[in-house]
A and B are shown apart, each in its own frame.
Chain A
Amino acid sequence: MDVRAVRRTGLQPVSFSLAAGEGLAVSGPSGCGKSLMLRAIADLDPNQGEVCLDGALRSAMAAPAWRRLVGYVPAEPGWWADTVGQHFSDWPAAAELAARLGLPLDAGDWPMTRPSSGERLRLALVRALMNRPRVLLLDEPTAALDAASVTRVEDLIAENLRAGLAVVWVSHDPAQVTRVARRRLRWDGEGFREEAGA
């Protein structure tokens, strides 16, 4: 994925390119535009600049098709139906992935009032992965999780990275940044700059 000078109000121009199977960690203080950057790449807010994926321009593609290729999991994912399972087109298939993240197989029947915020984050991750995206934009996907669940999420993402998924991972945790990605994008006070590989 090639991101070329993507910008909007509240977001300085960002450029980077990401190969299949590559992970990019994004860090910076609150309010520097990390979430705005992910939203802009997913084309959820009006933005300037161009993004292309495998040579195909985002602007030449219908927005829903783009968002199936470039999945975005926000820090506070939304839910529109009454039960967990209704948010998945194929819950039995999704349940296997959810089980790997420590969720019970019958979670599909849960009313949406039941899952905790940590469980919701993991369910949202499964929901996004079920679309089989080429790129995944993750906004603090382990913020509300206990240590065991953090490891499970990191392992699942690492496995998808090896299978060719590209991941942009916003994280506050410096240790996690070094674990999940070889490349890092850091806020230097004026804009996002790529740091030399660790």
Chain B
Amino acid sequence: MSGYIALSAGDLALASVLVLCNAALSLRWQLGLERKLLVAAARMVLQLSLMGWVLVKLFAWVSPWATLLAALTMVGFAGHEAASRQQRPMSGGWSYGLGTLSMFLAAALVTIFALTGALRPDPWYDPRYAIPLLGMILGNTMTGIGLGLNGLTTGLVNRRAAIEARLMLGHDRRSALAPVTREALVSAMMPIINTMSASGVVALPGMMTGQILGGVPPAQAVKYQILILFLIGGGTGLGALAAVMGGVYRLTDDRHRLRLDRLLSRS
């Protein structure tokens, strides 16, 4: 038994007709999305094909350095994605730097925790486990960190008068920024909380579906999915905390001033 149904290029072309339908719809209703939609679809095909090719090479080599290089590249792209979703980015590349660094810390910690604790492949950096795991964690931490930083910067801009009122009265920066900090962390954590509460009832998560389609027994696929959701939850929380706290310190200074001049002005 082969375990799964192999797909041909023709099968994919057939499925892509649906995206083309969406593009036609966008043209008909003047949504202006057709270009974005097609570019995004083309990017997805190109990037995934490239990833497939890279994975073949990595699985063949099983080299710690090649795996590390692939992982760092992924983190770099994730940081770029998180930074590009900011309505009010920080100046001097701080959004990118802070996003990438906290993502690296969180994803590395959680991935290594899973590889040495629950999964224990041999060697522990075996790219067949490390890279897909990192990809799943990064994809979600990226969303959390992006939302957290965006919540922080927009919250600080919108509530500048309220925050400065507290600073004027001699409150320190921590307590003056606490409400906005809390809200930023909550908005970072909400997606994973929603995902966890809906999974199994509303949504069959992509990874589990993929494993079942690939012939893995459902009971095993479920266990993998639970493991992944725990890891994603942990990674998102840690990453968002690091990014938001870093943002709080970058957007204030040691004289307890609110430093919105360290945000890029809206162009």
Contact = CB atoms under 8 A, between A and B. Distances in A.
Interface in A94-128: 124, 127-128
Interface string B162-178: 11111111111000000
Interface residues of B, number: 22
Interface in B233-267: 253-259
Interface in A33-50: 42-46
Interface stretch (A15-23, A72-80, A160-168): A72-80
Contact of A67 (B159, B163, B170): B170
Given A64-B171, A64-B172, A80 B257 contact: no
Given A43-B257, A46-B257, A64 B162 contact: no
A67 B179 contact: no
B9 interface: no
Contact of A44 (B159, B164, B171): B164
Given A78-B163, A80-B165, A45 B257 contact: yes
B165 A77 contact: yes
A76 B161 CA distance: 8
Given A46-B257, A63-B257, A71 B168 contact: yes
B165 A78 contact: yes
A65 B170 contact: yes
Contacts of B163: 78, 80
B161 to A, nearest CB: 3
A80 B168 contact: no
Interface in B136-184: 159-172, 179
Question: Which one of B164, B165, B168, B257 has the highest number of Cβ atoms from chain A below 10 Å of its Cβ?
Answer: B168
B44 to A, nearest CB: 44
A114 B254 CA distance: 36
Nearest to B255: A63
B257 A74 contact: no
Contacts of B164: 44, 74, 78
Contacts of B254: 63
In which size bucket is the chain A interface? 20 to 34
Contacts, number: 65
Contacts of A78: 159-166
Interface string A53-78: 00000000011110110011110111
Nearest to B179: A80
B170 to A, nearest CB: 4
Contacts of B255: 43, 46, 63
Contact of A79 (B162, B168, B179): B162
A74 B168 contact: yes
B49 to A, nearest CB: 50
B165 A67 contact: no
B150 to A, nearest CB: 21
A144 B123 CA distance: 73
A77 B165 CA distance: 6
A77 B172 CA distance: 18
A131 interface: yes
A153 to B, nearest CB: 18
A69 B258 CA distance: 19
Given A44-B164, A44-B168, A67-B167, 14 more contacts: A64-B167, A64-B171, A65-B170, A67-B169, A67-B170, A74-B165, A77-B161, A78-B159, A78-B162, A78-B163, A79-B162, A80-B166, A128-B169, A131-B169
Interface of B: 159-172, 179, 253-259
12 contacts: A43-B255, A44-B164, A44-B257, A45-B257, A63-B254, A65-B170, A74-B164, A74-B168, A79-B161, A80-B166, A127-B169, A128-B169
Interface of A: 42-46, 62-65, 67-68, 71-74, 76-80, 124, 127-128, 131
